[in-house]
Amino acid sequence: MTSLTIGKKTFTLGKRPLVMGILNLTPDSFADGGRYTSTEQAVNHALAMEQQGADLIDIGGESTRPGAMKVSTDEEMKRVIPIIRELVDKVSIPLSIDTYNADVAMRALDLGVAMVNDITALQGDTKLVNIVAEYDVPVCLMHMKGNPRDMQKHPTYTDVVREIRAFLKERADYALFHDIKKENIIVDPGLGFGKRTGRGIEDNCEILRRLSELKTLGYPLMIGASRKTFIGNVCGEKTPFPVSERLEGSLAAACIAVMNGADILRVHDVKETKRCVDIITCIGR
């Protein structure tokens, strides 16, 4: 078993997966856009997720759904910084900042955030790698084909898992070269980010089935399947299920991810996921 230190918490990996609650402070995120845009709504939701069993909370100020447009640094700051200020002294679990913007990440880390979750795997802002190394915090490196604006426009793969593994190894090596410690690196195959779905090829299901190949990289593995499009496509018999009807499919994907080696589950539905994790952990013991 290995350990992962995030802020003041040290988690033993392998005993049970961690549950990361999602706090989107955006008007346009695919699952919960506009629901937590006021300080009171956001803080209350974060406190509720902690009460429901979240191990950490990931705070984001820019939607990365397919087709989403980039927001300015000022706008991203305006969305996340006031909430972080309110939360750092109210929750006892670590906070993560979901950003690829170095300025936003540095401001969040200065306020007490303890992790960076970067969907671009340190490619979106060249300054971010040095900030992560300087602050000595964990960083999650995610695979994405393209960017949110174009990632679902005809993605192609010869072998999706082998290509993701090669990408994540290269980005982890890049992080190591720039003095990010090995124990601070987390990898994420990026379900839903430039992956084929709904046309007879389900890359996301293939990735979940072959997670063991990504585990051989030797880094903690984060999975974010929660309420994503492929859940609606797989579960819908004739018409894809809307976001509101994807809970059960999300929980099934989370269970398979855990059974195949996932260390962190990034989810919208903390209470329900935590209960699934508890059962899987008990059976596994």
Q: What per-residue confidence (pLDDT) applies to 233?
A: 93
Q: What is the mean pLDDT of residues 235-261?
A: 92
**pLDDT tens, residue by residue, 22-41:** 999 987 555 554 566 688 88
pLDDT at 68 over 80: no
User: Is 266 one of the annotated active-site residues of the chain?
Assistant: yes
Q: What is the mean pLDDT of residues 155-168?
A: 95
Q: What per-residue confidence (pLDDT) applies to 242?
A: 87
Question: CA nearest 274: which of 50, 67, 8?
Answer: 50
User: Is 228 one of the annotated active-site residues of the chain?
Assistant: yes
Q: What per-residue confidence (pLDDT) applies to 35?
A: 67
Q: Which of 16, 145, 195, 228 is catalytic?
A: 228
Domains and CATH numbers, the chain: 2-278 (3.20.20.20)
Q: What per-residue confidence (pLDDT) applies to 167?
A: 97
Q: What is the mean pLDDT of residues 166-176?
A: 98
Q: Coil, helix or strand for 186?
A: strand
Integer Cα distance of 148 and 170 in angstroms: 21
Angle subtended at Cα 180 by Cα 178 and Cα 185, rounded to the nearest 5 degrees: 130
Q: Coil, helix or strand for 140?
A: strand
Among the residue ranges 31-35, 88-92, 230-234, 257-261, the one predicted with the least confidence is 31-35
Q: What per-residue confidence (pLDDT) applies to 3?
A: 94
Q: What per-residue confidence (pLDDT) applies to 36?
A: 63
Q: What is the mean pLDDT of residues 266-283?
A: 96
Q: Which of 266, 274, 275, 285 is catalytic?
A: 266
Q: What per-residue confidence (pLDDT) applies to 273?
A: 98
How confident is the prediction for the chain on average, in pLDDT? Answer: 92
Return the bridge partners of 27, or none. none
Contact yes or no for 214/187 (Cβ under 8 A): yes
Q: What is the mean pLDDT of residues 52-76?
A: 88
Contacts of 37-42 with CB under 8 Å at 24 or more apart are 37/79, 39/82, 39/83, 39/86, 42/83, 42/86, 42/87
Indicate the DSSP class of residue 221: B
Give helix 160-177 / helix 128-135 axis angle, nearest 10°: 60
pLDDT at 224 over 70: yes
